[in-house]
Amino acid sequence: MSPTEQSWSVAHPLPVTARSAWSTEDELLFVTALGTWGAQQQHRDRLLRRYLVALPHRHNWGHIDMVQVQLRVERLLAEGQPDPV
């Protein structure tokens, strides 16, 4: 299983407590894994869309590059859509 298919907490090499701050890579792993486990699998697109809606309302991004995260979520949503006929 690749890191993008694992839950974000499993995919990251260091536990959250061993790092000083949540990074862009942490957030990218989180959104990539969002809705890929348990009962949430059937709601992945909805979760990703809700994340996009909430994205501009987050006031403190800390060390996270919001643009990279937004692009990843948009790409994940596009990949989940069937090809146009």
Domain span at residue 69 reads 20-80
Q: Does residue 9 fall inside a structural domain?
A: no
| Half-sphere exposure at residue 47, Cβ-oriented, CA atoms within 13 angstroms | 16
Q: Does residue 13 fall inside a structural domain?
A: no
What domain count does the chain have?
1
Q: Does residue 57 fall inside a structural domain?
A: yes
Beta bridge partners of 63: 23
**Placement of tokens 């937004």 in the chain:** 70
Q: Does residue 73 fall inside a structural domain?
A: yes
Q: Give residue-wise pLDDT tens across range 47-66.
A: 999 999 999 999 999 989 99
Q: Does residue 2 fall inside a structural domain?
A: no
Mean pLDDT of each 10-residue bin along the chain, 85 residues long: 50 60 91 83 87 94 94 93 56
3-state secondary structure of 74: helix
pTM tops 0.75, yes or no: no
Q: Does residue 58 fall inside a structural domain?
A: yes
Residue 40's pLDDT is what? Answer: 64
Q: Does residue 15 fall inside a structural domain?
A: no
